[in-house]
């Protein structure tokens, strides 16, 4: 099979993609979706722990996760990672490169991952003729800002118990939004990555998971999470008075 045949076999249009309602094509007509689809490069498949871009790399455009998951992060002087965000199927990443036309952080796969990509110049051009797409991009940028604000609030004002509970509720909500179970799911990220994202020690994450299990809130089996009592989990965020870090 030659490269052209392989590309045709692998190509999945936006219109037939099950994630289109969570991604940039959301709200577009079939004709508009075809216009967008003509400029999208897909699919790219990478193994776990593969680097997609790093600080200083030239900004290409927006990336959309199709399967697996991606984490974005910075590195401290100690070499330790500061996780900025986790991106699940249907979610967009790569926006950090817009301002200076180069990336300011790392993006790496957490599992075997595939993603689509669209050059920013083409996207900007299409936004000029497709108002619904322009609106979707604006919403995407607004969502990114809100996520940054929420993360700052989490790190600055929440206790360790609240941070982990908030994190589990967020992942639960995002899986539910994708049509999956909100109470039984597999975490694509490691406990170390969770700790780096929440700004707490890995030992604290393990201890809190054990505590949540003892309280009958969740059941944890490695990366498999089953939420047994959603009300109690929500209650941890609203009423937790612990001061662990």
Judge if 138 and 165 occupy the same domain: no
Tokens of 146: 């809100």
Per-residue model confidence (pLDDT) at position 41: 76
Judge if 118 and 134 occupy the same domain: yes
Judge if 195 and 145 occupy the same domain: no
Judge if 171 and 118 occupy the same domain: no
Judge if 142 and 201 occupy the same domain: no
Judge if 122 and 11 occupy the same domain: yes
Decide if 106 contacts 72 (C-beta within 8 A): yes
Would 172 be classed as within a structural domain?
yes
Judge if 102 and 194 occupy the same domain: no
> Can you tell me which residue has the tokens 């809190």?
208
Would 245 be classed as within a structural domain?
no
For 199, the domain range is 159-239
Would 227 be classed as within a structural domain?
yes
Judge if 48 and 149 occupy the same domain: yes
Give per-10-residue mean pLDDT for the chain (245 aa). Answer: 38 60 67 74 86 96 93 91 92 93 96 92 90 87 83 81 95 90 95 95 96 97 96 82 38
- Note the helical H segments in the chain: 3-10, 30-37, 120-127, 131-157, 160-177, 191-198, 202-214, 230-239
Per-residue model confidence (pLDDT) at position 241: 44
Per-residue model confidence (pLDDT) at position 34: 74
Per-residue model confidence (pLDDT) at position 4: 39
Judge if 148 and 183 occupy the same domain: no
- Where among 111, 126, 154 does a domain terminate? 154
- Number of structural domains the chain divides into: 2
Judge if 219 and 144 occupy the same domain: no
Would 27 be classed as within a structural domain?
yes
- Where among 134, 154, 174 does a domain terminate? 154
Task: Tell me the backbone φ, ψ of residue 108, rounded to 5 degrees.
Answer: -140, 150
- Where among 133, 154, 175 does a domain terminate? 154
**Residue 76 CB-half CA count within 13 A:** 8
Would 244 be classed as within a structural domain?
no
Would 194 be classed as within a structural domain?
yes
Would 19 be classed as within a structural domain?
yes
Q: Is the pTM of this model over 0.85?
A: no
- CATH at residue 174: 1.10.10.10
Decide if 155 contacts 166 (C-beta within 8 A): no
**Residue 64 CB-half CA count within 13 A:** 25
Judge if 129 and 81 occupy the same domain: yes
Judge if 83 and 50 occupy the same domain: yes
Per-residue model confidence (pLDDT) at position 11: 47
Q: Which residues contact 234 (CB under 8 A, 6 or more apart)?
A: 165, 169
Per-residue model confidence (pLDDT) at position 37: 74
Q: How far apart are CA 100 and CA 113, in angstroms?
A: 27
Would 216 be classed as within a structural domain?
yes
- CATH at residue 81: 2.60.120.10
């Amino acid at each position: 099979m030659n490269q052209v045949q392989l590309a045709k076999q692998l190509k999945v249009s936006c219109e037939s993609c099950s994630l289109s309602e969570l991604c940039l094509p959301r709200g577009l007509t079939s004709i508009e979706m075809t216009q967008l689809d003509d400029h999208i490069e897909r699919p790219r498949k990478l193994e776990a722990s593969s680097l997609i871009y790093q600080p200083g790399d030239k900004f290409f455009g927006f990336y959309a996760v199709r399967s697996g998951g991606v984490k974005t992060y910075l590195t401290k002087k100690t070499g330790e990672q500061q996780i900025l965000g986790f991106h699940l199927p249907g979610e967009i990443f790569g926006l950090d490169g817009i301002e200076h036309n180069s990336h300011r952080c790392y993006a790496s796969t957490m599992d075997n991952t595939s993603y689509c990509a669209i050059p920013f110049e083409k996207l900007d051009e299409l936004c000029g003729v497709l108002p619904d797409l322009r609106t979707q991009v604006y919403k995407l940028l607004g969502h990114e800002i809100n996520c940054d604000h929420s993360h700052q609030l989490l790190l600055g004002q929440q206790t360790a118990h609240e941070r982990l509970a908030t994190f589990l509720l967020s992942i639960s909500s995002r899986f539910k939004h994708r049509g999956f179970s909100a109470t039984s799911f597999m975490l694509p990220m490691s406990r170390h990555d969770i700790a780096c994202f929440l700004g707490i020690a890995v030992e604290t994450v393990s201890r809190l998971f054990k505590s949540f299990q003892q309280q009958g809130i969740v059941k944890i089996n490695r990366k498999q999470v089953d939420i047994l009592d959603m009300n109690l989990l929500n209650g941890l965020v609203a009423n937790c008075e612990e001061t662990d870090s």
